[in-house]
Amino acid sequence: MPVATLASVKGVDIGRVAETGAAMLLANTYHLHLRPGEQAVDRAGGLARFMGWTGPTLTDSGGYQVFSLAQQVKVTDRGAAFRSHLDGSAIDLTPESAVAIQERIGADVAMQLDHVIGLPSPRSQVAEAMERSLAWAERCLAARRRPDQAMFGIVQGGLEADLRAASARHLCSLPFEGYAVGGLSVGEGPEAMAAALAATMPHLPADKPRYLMGVGKPEDIINAVSVGIDMFDCVLPTRCGRNALLYTFSGTLRLRNACYAGDESPIEEGCPCPACKHSRGYLRHLFLAGEMLGPVLASIHNLTFYQRLVSRLRESILAGCFAETRKTLLADQGVMSRQEACGPTD
Amino acid sequence: MPVATLASVKGVDIGRVAETGAAMLLANTYHLHLRPGEQAVDRAGGLARFMGWTGPTLTDSGGYQVFSLAQQVKVTDRGAAFRSHLDGSAIDLTPESAVAIQERIGADVAMQLDHVIGLPSPRSQVAEAMERSLAWAERCLAARRRPDQAMFGIVQGGLEADLRAASARHLCSLPFEGYAVGGLSVGEGPEAMAAALAATMPHLPADKPRYLMGVGKPEDIINAVSVGIDMFDCVLPTRCGRNALLYTFSGTLRLRNACYAGDESPIEEGCPCPACKHSRGYLRHLFLAGEMLGPVLASIHNLTFYQRLVSRLRESILAGCFAETRKTLLADQGVMSRQEACGPTD
């Protein structure tokens, strides 16, 4: 899922988003609550209609902002009390209000409120956040009023295998329509993430969507699919795109590098996106000249790459050659980063 | 012609530019000379190919930057000596170098180098700049090496009717493929512009393109067409778009105004552009939230509006009802500006 934080995939018009092959978009409850407010989204016919999207949508619950805006939030069993990052006003996010806000925003899938903490953290804190998230899961389910909206529970437990397993088992006893693995990609390394996933996945039902939140790099996605993850969201395609970091099937490309001046080849041969109708040299020029079109086109390319990546994974599963495809894709991801030692940055 | 200063219509991918109905794009010689340099554009196959445009292109000569960057330029009969607005390096723009640079940039139409000054200015200065522009016109023609590139002469003469007429008559004795009216939209009012045009147009041949440079607002375009102007370029559609000022057939709309919060209607009913698939309320939200997509979509809408405007003018000429259409369009341009007294700005 491309991330449409404020009901906009940054810089990319919704028609171009659809052309990337994206099926579902994610938006952020905390941010939409502040601007334009869930009432405005509701009056406009709900999130999808508000942003002109015809596919399904999902909202996170604000739990991630408990982590990312930690300096402005106080967490108790009752909920998370924020100071707005915009004007300092008080925002009271409880399981009940997180559900109420998400029901008004009206995505197809809502997420339970969870308590996300940075990693590594002491086991006692991880356990406390995990237990709190479970209690909040039950309160979120109790607060539901919209039968037409799905709700996913979120596994917590940091890097503690037994806590992850306990969290997953408890959540699966609750009537969620899907399950997410949360609290990763918050400072732990790739091996730690893999271990946490390995401890969690056996306890999640294969017949319901399993969603790894906020992940990740292409290699993270490839590896997570191999253990059964079905859904992802990540800001990397657009955020990296805005910073001239381009993803390809042979690794990343830093477009500002001098070696791409005058490079007549597209970012990636065979990519059908509008950016790949241009040369790397032209796109580099856009970034060096500070032209807005650079970030726009780079974002579109990266979104397209991510969709092509998961599409290849999906096809390889159906064709029964996932293991081989995974190996090839992972190997290829390493190539260009080394090749890029070709020239100095400017 | 939408303006693609640095070989990019700001924020709008080239496919979307084509969808606005635009037939021809303008780029700026001075800016492309600095970034990425005419050699880079040349090596990429010329301006159109560099930016992925399949239609015709035009480059200005740098004459406008003599005016807009006046503090950094010293003009003599020899040419204009600039200090780069980027790094202070010296740029020597003479009629000969302006032609050589434009020939390497490789647009379909090049413009002579002219001396643009602000208005009002004393008659003696206007006369001097006009005479100098004529001398440069002859030197530009003498410097031409590419028979496949058209070149237009540029009428100067400020607001002095006799100087405009003299400039136009002299230029028309020279073998240019088209003629431009320059040095307007630089501080004079609409009446003064109309008077300068009236003094010029009778002296320009109707069987060659007549191009009013850097103009303008919808009403300026409507009025200029009525006296025979065939071509325009202007940054207003994109620059205003980036600032949330939207053009419609019933006047302008300042999208940040509070009265558009929750407004479910599109910017303009019947407009086929991607912005008009959204509500005014959504687009206003994008601007208030600082989302890049706001400027992108507003630019696309304004470019589409300008193309629809000239398309209506063109059709009315062919249908023999131009005078009536002009009257209606001008009257309608006044409406919304008054209606907009609906709410305070925020």
Residue A96 belongs to domain with CATH number: 3.20.20.105
How far apart CA B86 and CA A238 sit, in angstroms, is: 28
pLDDT at B220 over 70: yes
Cross-chain Cβ contact A282/B52 below 8 Å: yes
In whole numbers, what is the pLDDT of chain B averaged over residues? Answer: 95
pLDDT at B310 over 90: yes
Neighbouring residues of A188: CB distance < 8 A, sequence distance ≥ 6: A119, A120, A159, A196
Q: Which range of residues forms the domain containing residue B247?
A: 239-342
Q: Compare CB distances from B288 to A10, A35, A286 and report the shortest one's residue.
A: A35
Closest CA to B58 of B2, B99, B9, B109: B109
pLDDT in tens, B156-171: 999 999 999 999 999 9
Q: Does B273 touch chain A (CB under 8 A)?
A: no
Q: Which of B233, B263, B332, B346 is catalytic?
A: B233
Average pLDDT of the residues in A253-274: 97
Q: Compare CB distances from B278 to A12, A43, A52 and report the shortest one's residue.
A: A52
Q: Compare CB distances from A50 to B15, B277, B282 and report the shortest one's residue.
A: B282
Cross-chain Cβ contact A296/B296 below 8 Å: yes
> Does residue B4 lie in a domain region?
no
Give the phi and the psi of residue A206 in degrees, each rounded to 5: -75, -15
Sole residue written with tokens 């969709």:
A307
Cross-chain Cβ contact A285/B14 below 8 Å: no
pLDDT at A341 over 50: no
Contact present, A26 and A2 (Cβ < 8 Å): yes
**Counting every residue, how long is chain B?**
346
Active site (annotated) includes residue B220: no
Count CA atoms within 13 Å of residue B258 on its CB side: 6
Neighbouring residues of A293: CB distance < 8 A, sequence distance ≥ 6: A286, B8, B9, B10, B11, B12, B13
Q: Using CA atoms in the order A332, A337, A338, A339, what is the torsion angle rounded to 10 degrees?
A: 90
Q: Compare CB distances from A286 to B8, B40, B292 and report the shortest one's residue.
A: B8
Are residues B230 and B243 located together in one domain of the fold?
Answer: no
Domain stops at, among A234, A255, A285: A234
Sole residue written with tokens 């693609």:
B4
Rg (CA), chain A: 20
Are residues B149 and B205 located together in one domain of the fold?
Answer: yes
Average pLDDT of the residues in A218-233: 97
Min Cα separation B73/chain A (Å): 22
> Does residue A3 lie in a domain region?
no
Cross-chain Cβ contact B43/A291 below 8 Å: no
Closest CA to B21 of B327, B255, B315, B286: B315
The Cα angle at residue B279 between residues B278 and B280, in degrees rounded to 5: 125
Active site (annotated) includes residue B60: yes
Are residues A248 and A215 located together in one domain of the fold?
Answer: no
Residue A51 with chain B: CB contacts under 8 Å: 278, 282
Q: Looking at chain A, which residue has its C-alpha nearest residue B31?
A: A289
Min Cα separation B235/chain A (Å): 15
Neighbouring residues of B340: CB distance < 8 A, sequence distance ≥ 6: B251, B252, B253, B254, B257, B259
Residue A7 with chain B: CB contacts under 8 Å: 282, 285
Are residues A77 and A200 located together in one domain of the fold?
Answer: yes
pLDDT at res. A339: 46
Q: How many domains does chain B have?
A: 2
> Does residue B9 lie in a domain region?
no
Are residues A20 and A161 located together in one domain of the fold?
Answer: yes
Q: Does B10 touch chain A (CB under 8 A)?
A: yes
pLDDT in tens, A55-79: 999 999 998 998 898 888 999 999 9
Type of residue found at A39 = Q
Are residues B155 and B181 located together in one domain of the fold?
Answer: yes
pLDDT in tens, A9-20: 999 999 999 999
Six token digits for residue B221: 């375009």
Residue B43 with chain A: CB contacts under 8 Å: 262
- Give B59's strand partners: B27, B110
Domain stops at, among A174, A199, A234: A234
Cross-chain Cβ contact B292/A11 below 8 Å: yes
Min Cα separation A103/chain B (Å): 19
Residue A16 with chain B: CB contacts under 8 Å: 13
| A 208-227 → B contacts, CB under 8 A | none
Cross-chain Cβ contact A277/B52 below 8 Å: yes
Contact present, A61 and A102 (Cβ < 8 Å): yes
> Does residue A304 lie in a domain region?
yes
> Does residue A315 lie in a domain region?
yes
Contact present, B173 and B164 (Cβ < 8 Å): no
Q: How many beta-carbon pairs below 8 A join chains A and B?
A: 115
Domain stops at, among B180, B209, B234: B234
Average pLDDT of the residues in B195-217: 97
* Residue B346: pLDDT band with limits 50, 70, 90: very low
Count CA atoms within 13 Å of residue B299 on its CB side: 26
The secondary structure element, H or E, covering residue B90 is strand B90-93
Distance of CA B94 to the CA centre of its chain: 22
Return the minimum-mean-pLDDT range out of A126-135, B5-14, B71-80.
B71-80
Show the DSSP H helices in chain B as ranges. Answer: 14-19, 29-34, 38-43, 47-51, 63-68, 95-105, 123-143, 161-172, 190-200, 218-226, 236-242, 280-288, 293-318, 322-333, 335-339
How far apart CA A200 and CA A154 sit, in angstroms, is: 11
Is residue B245 helix, strand or coil? strand
Contact present, B107 and B59 (Cβ < 8 Å): yes
Q: Does B8 touch chain A (CB under 8 A)?
A: yes
Q: Compare CB distances from B13 to A36, A40, A293 and report the shortest one's residue.
A: A293
Closest CA to B197 of B174, B221, B173: B221
Q: Angle at which helices B293-318 and B322-333 pack, to 10 degrees?
A: 150
**In the 8-state DSSP scheme, what is residue B84?**
P
In whole numbers, what is the pLDDT of chain A averaged over residues? Answer: 95
> Does residue A4 lie in a domain region?
no
Six token digits for residue A155: 């596994």
Cross-chain Cβ contact A289/B35 below 8 Å: yes
Return the minimum-mean-pLDDT range out of A129-133, B83-87, B218-222, B255-259.
B83-87
Q: Does B279 touch chain A (CB under 8 A)?
A: yes
pLDDT at B343 over 80: no
Q: Does B50 touch chain A (CB under 8 A)?
A: yes
Are residues A253 and A143 located together in one domain of the fold?
Answer: no
pLDDT in tens, A79-88: 999 999 899 8
How far apart CA B119 and CA B156 sit, in angstroms, is: 12
pLDDT at A94 over 70: yes
Cross-chain Cβ contact A281/B8 below 8 Å: no
> Does residue A115 lie in a domain region?
yes
Min Cα separation B37/chain A (Å): 10
Are residues B57 and B92 located together in one domain of the fold?
Answer: yes
Average pLDDT of the residues in A125-150: 98
How far apart CA A34 and CA A6 sit, in angstroms, is: 9
Give the phi and the psi of residue B82 in degrees, each rounded to 5: -95, 155
pLDDT at res. A338: 45
Are residues B92 and B159 located together in one domain of the fold?
Answer: yes
Average pLDDT of the residues in A327-333: 95
Q: How would you list the strands of the sheet with A73-75, edge to edge?
A: A73-75, A80-83, A90-93
pLDDT in tens, A156-197: 999 999 999 999 999 999 999 999 999 999 889 899 999 999
> Does residue A126 lie in a domain region?
yes
Closest CA to A105 of A4, A216, A238, A253: A4
Q: Looking at chain B, which residue has its C-alpha nearest residue A46?
A: B282
Alpha-carbon torsion (A297, A303, A307, A313), positive or negative? positive
Are residues A185 and A287 located together in one domain of the fold?
Answer: no
Residue B261 with chain A: CB contacts under 8 Å: 36, 40
pLDDT in tens, B249-291: 999 999 999 999 999 999 999 999 999 999 999 999 999 999 9
Distance of CA B151 to the CA centre of its chain: 17
Are residues B230 and B278 located together in one domain of the fold?
Answer: no
Are residues A63 and A168 located together in one domain of the fold?
Answer: yes
* Residue B336: pLDDT band with limits 50, 70, 90: low
